[in-house]
């Protein structure tokens, strides 16, 4: 799987948009970008994933650059409960036989939302 680079930590004011960057310059054509987060003392939580088009769900938006070498996770209105470590992961999917492949977690970005 391609490696990712994320800032170690970021701060955001409550109510503001949090924009978390991720570089994945060695991503290959069949690799998706996944985002997870881990709130203190909990298991990681899936947020969103995408291939090349921008994606949005009830939790966040994912913006992937045209060359796919970087992406940004956007939390439109951050709350104190969004304080967590955010992981950006790239992983290929294989469609044959319904296989699922392991996710490799890096160190992520510690996002602290301040009141």
Partner 1 sequence: GAGVSQSPSNKVTEKGKDVELRCDPISGHTALYWYRQRLGQGLEFLIYFQGNSAPDKSGLPSDRFSAERTGESVSTLTIQRTQQEDSAVYLCASSSRRSNYGYTFGSGTRLTVV
Residues that bind partner 1 (CB under 8 A): 32, 34, 36, 42-46, 49, 93, 98-100, 102-108
Least Å distance, CB 72 to partner 1, is 19
Nearer to partner 1, 63 or 105 (CB): 105
Nearer to partner 1, 15 or 56 (CB): 56
Give me 91's structure tokens: 């992983």
Which conformational region is residue 68 in: left (phi greater than 0), alpha (psi within -120 to 50 degrees), or beta?
left
Spatial CA neighbour of 72 closest among 41, 15, 111: 111
Beta bridge partners of 114: 13
Q: Using CA atoms, how far apart are residues 105 and 15, in angstroms rounded to an integer?
A: 28
Least Å distance, CB 39 to partner 1, is 11
Q: Using CA atoms, how far apart are residues 27 and 4, in angstroms rounded to an integer?
A: 9
Nearer to partner 1, 66 or 99 (CB): 99
Nearer to partner 1, 47 or 75 (CB): 47
Least Å distance, CB 93 to partner 1, is 6
Least Å distance, CB 106 to partner 1, is 6
DSSP class of residue 15 equals T
Beta bridge partners of 11: 112
């Amino acid at each position: 799987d391609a490696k990712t680079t994320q800032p170690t930590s970021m701060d955001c004011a409550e109510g503001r948009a949090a924009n978390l960057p991720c570089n994945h310059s060695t991503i290959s054509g069949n690799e998706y970008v996944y985002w997870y987060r881990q709130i203190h003392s909990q298991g990681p939580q899936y947020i969103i994933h995408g291939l090349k088009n921008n994606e949005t769900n009830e939790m966040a938006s994912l913006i992937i650059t045209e060359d796919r070498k970087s992406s940004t996770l956007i939390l439109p209105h951050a709350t104190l409960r969004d304080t967590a470590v955010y992981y950006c992961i790239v992983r290929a999917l294989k469609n044959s036989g319904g296989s699922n492949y392991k996710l490799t977690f890096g160190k992520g970005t510690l996002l602290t939302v301040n009141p």
